[in-house]
Amino acid sequence: MAVNIGGLRFGRLEVIEMSHVDKSGKAFWICKCDCGNKKIVSGDKLRSGKTKSCGCLQAELRKNGIRKTHGMTKTRLYTEWCNMRSRCRNVNNKNYGGRGISVCDEWEKFENFMLWAISNGYNDNLTIERIDVDGNYEPDNCKWITPKEQHLNRTDSHKITAFGETKTIKEWSDSTGIGYDTIERRVNAYNWSGEEAVTIPPHRKRVVLSGC
């Protein structure tokens, strides 16, 4: 009996209901594409990622001059893919290969990575970022962000300890609402304590108590 995948999403396709089962026992599903079209797709092609849309994604790629096989070796996206795989394969890279970060099997094929990238808003001003910094490079754990955002998210970003808790400046900024640059300047330029840096609201003066 086929596993029910109704309601699940694969790329641009949302599974609505089962269409039929063929003579070999393969299940086919009625899917609705983000563009509004419907398409019947076999479950194995959905799960493997071979079919990600009703065909509109491939049409968009062709319109933008991107061929599936693949003519992309001189593009920034291809360079991004090569760099991702290279740092994960390098056991001497302490932030990636050296601590077991890898690229998923699906993305070992550039065409699969390219389709995911285009579907998720890639442009040449963005760079790939893992959502869980201890996780691997795979569709559910990656997004596109600006280089500035990536710099702030680096695992070796400067850390501050306040109230017995140690976090990166980015994490303190997110939890307190005080700007990243403000916290960093307070600690590095003005030698404020961690507690002062993450609790005193912007534009409020620091009170320094004199000795008796």
pLDDT in tens, 111-146: 889 889 988 989 999 999 988 888 999 999 999 988
Confidence of residue 157 (pLDDT cuts 50, 70, 90): low
pLDDT at 92 exceeding the cut of 50? yes
**207 domain-assigned:** no
- The total number of residues shown for the chain amounts to 212
Average pLDDT, the chain: 84
Q: Is residue 39 part of a domain?
A: yes
Q: Are 100 and 144 in contact (CB under 8 A)?
A: no
144 and 80: one domain? yes
Residue 50 lies in a domain: yes
Specify whether 145 is located in the same domain as 102.
yes
Spell out the long-range contacts of 9-12 with Cβ–Cβ below 8 A and sequence spacing 24 or more. 10/46, 10/47, 10/49, 10/51, 10/52, 11/49, 11/51, 11/52, 11/53, 11/57, 11/115, 11/119, 12/52, 12/53, 12/54, 12/56, 12/57, 12/119
pLDDT at 15: 93
**What is the pLDDT, as a whole number, of residue 96?**
87
Q: Tell me whether residue 209 is in a domain.
A: no
Does the structure show a pLDDT above 80 at 38?
yes
- Quick one: 189 and 127 in the same domain? no
Give the C-alpha separation, 164 to 142, whole Å: 31
Instruction: Clarify whether residues 126 and 176 are in a common domain.
Output: no
Residue 149 shares a structural domain with residue 165: no
135 & 194 share domain: no
What's the whole-model pTM score?
0.47
Is residue 3 one of the residues assigned to a domain?
A: no
The domain of 48 spans 9-54
Mean per-residue pLDDT, 97-111: 90
CA-based torsion, 72, 51, 31, 37: positive or negative: positive
Q: Are residues 102 and 136 in the same domain?
A: yes
Query: What is the count of structural domains for the chain?
Result: 3
Structural domain includes residue 68: no
Q: Give a yes or no: residue 100 inside a domain.
A: yes
- Is the separation of the CB atoms in 85 and 102 below 8 Å? no
Structural domain contains residue 71? no
Structure confidence at residue 148 (pLDDT): 75
Same domain, 165 and 149: no
